[in-house]
């Protein structure tokens, strides 16, 4: 069983189809994390349940910004090893899901103007969100009990203002594709677009409501989510606020 650091908390960001977004943190999430590790010790199919599951339609403001400290960067992610056969990925005309994830990570580095994240994915058999040192990305059933309208969830574990672990789970009963156009694309959620949104959360970027075109705008639709692959100026500014681009070295003479 994992130990709970006194300053640690869990931030859960859930992206829904209907624009309802939940961000929970602080004491309730800490209790949720304790509950998760308790139940995880009993059963591999234990579900994380938390305040955000019970407070539909409400948004809880973040308490303070969090970011990944320099010594933990670039952040390395591990893709669940059953992704290629995941039943919720209904078409891969646009390429394997792993390539879509790499595309999302590449866009985050481009937007940050520096290498925040490692664009080489590790593989893992893990399916559960946990503060275990593995930054999991998974499409298969794990320990999160999804609402039927929830597309994906990012669960970040923090200590103080530092993100120490961050896991992204896609709803196993929602249809995704890697297609960038066509009939299937219009009826499914875009792996790369949704991944870009969730992985931005994993490095601490909150929602942006000032531009409806922003990747970090808090809702997504099946017909208009391929554009989430491309960060808008507000998304890039949020990244660069959290991670200031180092100035170039002075010229040598």
Shortest gap between Cβ of 15 and Zn ion (angstroms)?
A: 5
Question: Tokens representing 218?
Answer: 């808090």
Residues between 8 and 27 that touch Zn ion (CB under 5 A)? 13, 15
Instruction: Please compute, for residue 198, the number of CA atoms within 13 A of its CA located in the half-sphere on the CB side.
Output: 32
Shortest gap between Cβ of 207 and Zn ion (angstroms)?
A: 6
The yes or no reply on residue 195 touching Zn ion (CB under 5 A) is no
Shortest gap between Cβ of 153 and Zn ion (angstroms)?
A: 9
User: Which of 40, 53 has the CB closer to Zn ion?
Assistant: 53
User: Which of 18, 38 has the CB closer to Zn ion?
Assistant: 18
Q: Which residues contact 195 (CB under 8 A, 6 or more apart)?
A: 100, 101, 104, 137, 168
For residue 141, give the DSSP letter: -
Distance CA 168, CA 180 (A): 22
User: Which of 168, 177 has the CB closer to Zn ion?
Assistant: 168
Shortest gap between Cβ of 27 and Zn ion (angstroms)?
A: 22
Shortest gap between Cβ of 164 and Zn ion (angstroms)?
A: 20
Question: Tokens representing 81?
Answer: 């090893």
Q: Which residues contact 108 (CB under 8 A, 6 or more apart)?
A: 116, 117, 196, 199, 200, 203, 231, 239
User: Which of 46, 116 has the CB closer to Zn ion?
Assistant: 116
Query: In this structure, how many other beta carbons lie within 10 angstroms of the beta carbon of residue 133?
Result: 9
User: Which of 14, 40 has the CB closer to Zn ion?
Assistant: 14
For residue 12, give the DSSP letter: E
Shortest gap between Cβ of 19 and Zn ion (angstroms)?
A: 11
Residues between 27 and 46 that touch Zn ion (CB under 5 A)? none
User: Which of 164, 199 has the CB closer to Zn ion?
Assistant: 199
Give the count of residues interacting with Zn ion (CB under 5 A): 2
Q: Which residues contact 191 (CB under 8 A, 6 or more apart)?
A: 89, 97, 100, 101, 170, 176, 177, 178
The yes or no reply on residue 226 touching Zn ion (CB under 5 A) is no
Footprint of Zn ion (CB under 5 A) = 13, 15
């Amino acid at each position: 069983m994992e130990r709970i650091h006194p300053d640690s908390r869990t931030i859960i960001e859930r992206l829904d189809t209907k624009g309802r977004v939940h961000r929970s943190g602080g004491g309730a999430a800490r209790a949720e994390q304790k509950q998760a590790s308790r139940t995880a010790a009993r059963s591999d199919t234990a579900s994380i349940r938390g305040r955000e599951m019970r407070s539909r339609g409400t948004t809880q403001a973040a308490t303070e910004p969090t970011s990944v400290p320099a010594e933990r960067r670039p952040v390395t992610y591990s893709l669940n090893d059953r992704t290629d056969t995941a039943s919720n990925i209904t078409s891969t005309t646009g390429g394997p899901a792993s390539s879509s994830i790499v595309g999302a990570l590449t866009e985050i580095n481009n937007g940050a103007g520096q290498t925040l994240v490692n664009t080489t994915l590790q593989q893992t058999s893990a399916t559960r969100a946990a503060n275990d040192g593995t930054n999991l990305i998974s499409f298969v059933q794990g320990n999160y009990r999804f609402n039927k309208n929830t597309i994906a969830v990012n669960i970040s574990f923090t200590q103080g203002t530092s993100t120490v672990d961050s896991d992204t789970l896609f709803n196993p009963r929602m249809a995704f594709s890697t297609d960038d156009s066509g009939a299937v694309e219009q009826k499914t959620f875009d792996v790369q677009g949704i991944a870009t949104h969730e992985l931005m959360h994993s490095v601490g970027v909150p929602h942006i409501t000032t531009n409806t075109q922003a990747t970090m705008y808090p809702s997504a639709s099946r017909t208009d989510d391929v554009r989430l692959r491309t960060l808008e100026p507000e998304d890039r500014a949020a990244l660069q606020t959290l991670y200031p681009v180092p100035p170039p070295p002075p010229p040598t003479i």
